[in-house]
Structure 1
Amino acid sequence: MEDIEDLLIGSRSTTPPGFRSPLPAAVGVGVGSKRNKLSSSPSPAIPGTQSDSEYMAGQLSAFGYSLSDNPDQADLWLINTCTVKSPSQSAMDTIITKGKSLNKPLVVAGCVPQGSRNLKELEGISIVGVQQIDRVVEIVEETLKGHEVRLLTRKKLPALDLPKVRKNKFVEILPINVGCLGACTYCKTKHARGHLGSYTIDILVGRVKSVISDGVKEIWLSSEDTGAYGRDIGVNLPTLLNALVAELPADASTMLRIGMTNPPYILEHLKEIAEILRHPCVYSFLHVPVQSGSDTILSAMNREYTVDEFRTVVETLTKLVPEMHIATDIICGFPGETDEDFMQTVNLVKEYKFPQVHISQFYPRPGTPAARMKKVPSNVVKRRSRELTNVFESFTPYSGMEGKVERIWITDIASDGIHLVGHTKGYIQVLILAPDHMLGASAMVKITSVGRWSVFGEVIETIDRVSGNKVLNKLLPDRDLPSLCGISAKAGGFSEEPESCACGSDVCCGIDKSDNSRGTAVPQNQSKKSFIGWMLRKREHLHKKVESELASGSVKKHDGRMKWDFVDNILLSGISISILTIIALVAALTFRVFWSK
């Protein structure tokens, strides 16, 4: 089943192979019966919902269900939804219509049924609310029996130790709270997910310890607004972050990424947040939506901050945090937006040249105050969206990185099936040619070229465990070592100014020299290994593509057999040459032995 949020983000033809949105996302899951299969697919950026999908899939798997690559063969479809954007609900309607035409039992989960339970499209369909995901097995069982089940009553927060199937085994999406304290006039998330509810620090610390022991290499903190964390239980975000960072491995083998935060609450903790973002185990990246560059429009949105306050957030963090990258969101065509209001937004984006901007067109959500406001003509909204997109795409945020040496954390395979995907401390995406066994590892890479959306790198050295600085000094004699390490922990927190590693020469940079089998230098052999890994992944990628096309009927077999692609031909030629070479060597040796007698 196609993920309903894939229709919103990532369809741009210029998106690079493996490009990954910096936010967690919603996932549409199709479900099959016990000993059969469930179907799922990857997705981009809606806070909270991807974690919900992973928990639901995990519970169903633990109860005897499994994921399926083919929804047509599944006995039931489970559709997770988001109410932030209208296309999600439109895609849900399309999937429901298709499911009904195939007589598939359907379960709809997430924000849409929670916030709009009386939708005509949901009539006769089982639905599960955002705080009832721990009962998904019960709902699936009853639906398969032909019963309609609706569980929407809010209760205590779902447990974080429920069975879980991660979309990426190296990435844990950890919800720290649900709901929000805002009252934006265009949003239905609060109506669906309710008032703020935060998990306690002890529960979250326990979860972090658990997932690190599972081999997770990135922990994404998920929330509708991370900055509001703890206000309902008497704590705050910096207190939580310091507690979580204290549990991360000292060699920075597992990284923490802080989720989206709105400006009002983070303003109170800017210096403390900056200290944490400088820590070697925390990505220097933050998603802070601005939505508009006009105070008039922000007031109409009820965003509870001004443009100057947003500027304070951006400028403080970029000043105090080396390599800091900030992503933001813009809504084009909000009711009442004039040409002058829009130009203020354009000028704000031009001023800061954000490396990532999520641009959306305003859509009135039924039941929200903004839905009753006078709309901007749709042709004007579309024109403004195109104009802002063109401005954003004109930036070259990674120019000048060629030749730099960066540490990256490798957690994914690119969508082209060839490159591996890693991220720098500033969460810049780096695509590398490397063998699959490097997934989950960290490495020093040299940036070889840059693109609009990502950069390309060449592996210099793998990093597995803690080691001294001698290897780095040998590899990088002209680089300032502390700048590679980040800023180290001190008893009272983290210093505001860069300084050398308090851990001496071992912990911060973490290149292994003690285990020759895992931490050895690879420059002389890397090109060979990378080429072989590339060939094998390319072959697998092409075969999967052909199999998919055959299954869909868009490609037919020729003469009853599969055509060989160029990678197969190269591999076969290599094998043939090797066999002929061996035969020739054996023949020569035999001839020499015979004549020596």
Structure 2
Amino acid sequence: MKVYIDSYGCTFNKADGQIMAGVLLENDIDIAESIEEADVIIVNTCYVKLPTENKVVYRIQKLQSEFPDKKIIVSGCMVEIDPEKLEKIGPNCSWIGPHQLSKSADVVNATYCGEVIRETGFSKESKVGVPKLSDGSLIHIIQICEGCLGACTFCCTRFARGPLNSYPIKDIVAEAKEAIENGACEIQLTAQDTAAFGRDSGEKLSDLIKEVANLDGDFRVRVGMMHPKNLLGGVDEIIDAIKHPKVYNFIHLPIQSGSDKVLSEMRRGHSVEQYLDILSKFKNEIPGLTLAVDIIVGYPTETDEDFELTVKLLHDIKPSIIHLSKYQHRKGAVSSSLKEIPPKTMKKRSKFLSEIKSEITEEENRELIGSYQNVLVVEKGSKGGFIAKTDSYIPVIVHDVEMGTFVKVKITEATSTYLKSELA
């Protein structure tokens, strides 16, 4: 029997797919490289945004239509967030909830034999140190905790991932050590909110970062998204950890809106001033810092004045990476009871922000043209060449290099999303 795993969404969900693959292999179930050769297909869903929801719903329906003889299993956030819709579109599909990955082999075997089996609900089982099948790159993802401490009104992911569950530092370090010994050159520490790590266990994110970075070997560490609220009062320790030479000079610090009124209505738990104070400390202490931000356009209570404040904030902080999302109601989210702004207004604001997003990010990257950068070659490019990362985690296209090596390059071109280079 062979199983094909089709994963959508974030780094965390990608790691869930790797865990399922690892569990299956341990139980003598092969992983297929294509849908055509598979007997069972697992669609590992993401539900954070409406376009992604539509994509996975279409995928599930299309697979059932095109491959009526193959068994379909649905996993990921949709299982916990919207079982009613899932039942409607795939009444004969089995389910694996995001907290039930250890049962993947049981579900696959039963489904292959014609049963419809559904493993759902929350558990505290760890996702560290468990079997994983990598995607063949030299990037190793470690989930350091699951769930969050937030109450954001627009979010439905927390209904799937549940309350915070941090994994022990010793287990995370042990997995990182094994991955590095097996050839990984980039360790990605991921979570719904890495800044929440340890709030339930008494351990600290700063200690975790340092312990991983202090391992032997030539590698880099990337720290995933941090909610500003959970950095308040502890930012200095995190900065000290990220200053470690093996940690990318990079932070993913979502702001969502430049308006204090909207942030309050979103229940973000921090102000624009507090955000700017955190960012100022990072930039003052870490030269060449790459900032990634998240922005939601058109939250239901966002006025023209609120939107202008967001535009001003982006021009002021000049992020190198901007993740832009149009607001849309999500299943079970508090804000879904509010009236959405007119589509014409949404389209206008989104178009405007998309334009300045490209301007800001390309301007930031263009400043690096002519500079010499030390880069780590982490994966093969989809259109040839290789993708490397600068010390500030900016992707660079390189040629005639070996995977997993550090090389010096001269930056020759820049776009809004990556750099081009030649060997120095």
TM-score by length of 1: 0.68
2: CA distance, partners of 1:458 / 1:106: 46
Q: 1:118 — aligned with what?
A: 84
Residues in 1 aligned to 2:148 and 2:189: alpha-carbon distance in whole angstroms: 15
Specify whether residues 87 and 400 from structure 1 end up closer, same or farther in structure 2 by C-alpha distance, changes over 3 A only.
closer
Aligned AA (1:115)? I
Aligned length: 418
Aligned residue number for residue 492 of structure 1: none
Match of 1:99 in 2: 63
**Higher relative contact order, chain-length normalized (CA < 8 Å, sep 6+):** 2
Query: What is the DSSP-based 3-state SS (H/G/I as helix, E as strand, rest coil) of the residue aligned with 1:243?
Result: helix
1:397 aligns with 2:361: no
Residue in 2 that maps onto 1:190: 158
- Give yes or no for the alignment of 1:217 onto 2:185: yes
Closer, same or farther in 2 for the Cα pair 1:88/1:401, shift >3 Å?
closer
- How far residue 111 of structure 1 moved from its aligned partner, in angstroms, is 0.9
State yes or no: 1:348 paired with 2:316.
no
Q: Aligned-pair RMSD on alpha carbons?
A: 1.7
Does 1:416 find its partner at 2:383?
yes
**1:159 CA displacement:** 4.3
Pair 46,109 (structure 1): closer, same or farther in 2 beyond 3 Å: same
Gap runs ≥5 in structure 2 = none
Q: How big is each residue's C-alpha offset from its partner over 1:467-490, in whole Å with a ceiling of 9 and x where there is no partner?
A: xxxxxxxxxxxxxxxxxxxxxxxx
TM-score (norm 2): 0.94
1:548-563, aligned counterparts within 5 Å? none
Pick from 410, 413, 420 the counterpart of residue 456 of structure 1: 420
Shift of 1:404: 2.1
Q: Is the 8 A contact 1:248 1:255 kept in 2?
A: no
Whether the 8 Å CA contact 2:24–2:105 is kept in 1: the answer is yes
Q: Structure 1 pair 56/386, CA: closer, same or farther in 2 (3 Å)?
A: same
Q: Distance in 2 between matches of 1:451 and 1:326?
A: 16
Picking from 347, 350, 357, the partner of 1:385 is 350
Q: Find the counterpart in structure 2 of residue 512 from structure 1.
A: none
1:71-110 equivalent positions in 2, closer than 5 A: 71-101=35-65, 102-103=67-68, 104-110=70-76
Contact kept in structure 2, 1:178 and 1:223, CA below 8 Å:
yes
Q: Is the 8 A contact 1:407 1:425 kept in 2?
A: yes
* Structure 1 residues 248 and 186, CA gap change in structure 2 (3 angstroms): farther
- Please tell me whether Structure 1 or Structure 2 has the larger radius of gyration of its CA atoms: 1
Aligned-residue sequence identity (percent) comes to 31
Is the CA contact 1:241–1:276 (under 8 Å) kept in the aligned structure 2?
yes
1:250-329 residue pairs with structure 2 within 5 A? Answer: 253-329=218-294
- Which stretch shows the higher mean deviation, 316-325 or 119-128? 119-128
- CA distance in 2 between counterparts of 1:163 and 1:416 reads 31
C-alpha displacement of 1:262: 0.7
Q: Is the 8 A contact 1:114 1:128 kept in 2?
A: no
CA distance in 1, matches of 2:60, 2:185: 36
Q: How far apart, CA to CA, are the structure 2 residues paired with 1:193 and 1:112?
A: 11
Note the C-alpha offset of 1:124. 2.9
Measure the CA separation in 2 of the matches of 1:300 and 1:332.
14
* Range with greater deviation from structure 2 (255-264 or 55-64): 55-64
- Report what 1:70 is aligned to: 34
Deviation track 1:297-343 (CA, whole Å, cap 9, x = no partner) reads: 11111111111111112111111101111100011111111111111
The structure 1 residue matched to 2:107, chosen from 139, 153, 156, is 139
Q: 1:275: Cα distance to partner?
A: 1.6
What SS does structure 2 have at the residue aligned with 1:231? coil
Cα distance in 2, alignment partners of residues 188 and 39 from structure 1: 23
2:129–2:174 CA contact under 8 A, matched in 1: no
The secondary structure found in structure 2 opposite 1:93 is helix
Instruction: Report the 3-state secondary structure (helix = DSSP H, G, I; strand = E; otherwise coil) of the residue aligned with 1:92.
Output: helix
Q: Equivalent residues in 2 for 1:171-250 (5 A)?
A: 171-249=139-217
Matched residues in 2 for 1:206 and 1:447: separation? 36
The verdict on how the C-alpha distance between 1:364 and 1:39 changes in structure 2, with shifts beyond 3 A counting, is closer
Shift of 1:39: 5.4
CA contact 1:238–1:269 (8 Å) conserved in 2:
no
Matches within 5 A, 1:29-44: 33=1, 36=2, 38=4, 40=6
Name the amino acid aligned to 1:363. Q
Distance 1:100 1:40 in 2: 14
How many Å separate the matches in 2 of 1:91 and 1:398? 31
Secondary structure, aligned partner of 2:98: coil
- 1:152 is aligned to 120
Provide the rounded CA distance (Å) in 2 between the counterparts of 1:218 and 1:283.
10
CA contact (8 A) 1:99 1:105 kept: no
Unmatched 5+ stretches in structure 1: 1-32, 461-597
1:166 matches 2:113:
no
Distance 2:293 2:367 in 1: 23
The 2-side partners of 1:271 and 1:368 are apart by 33
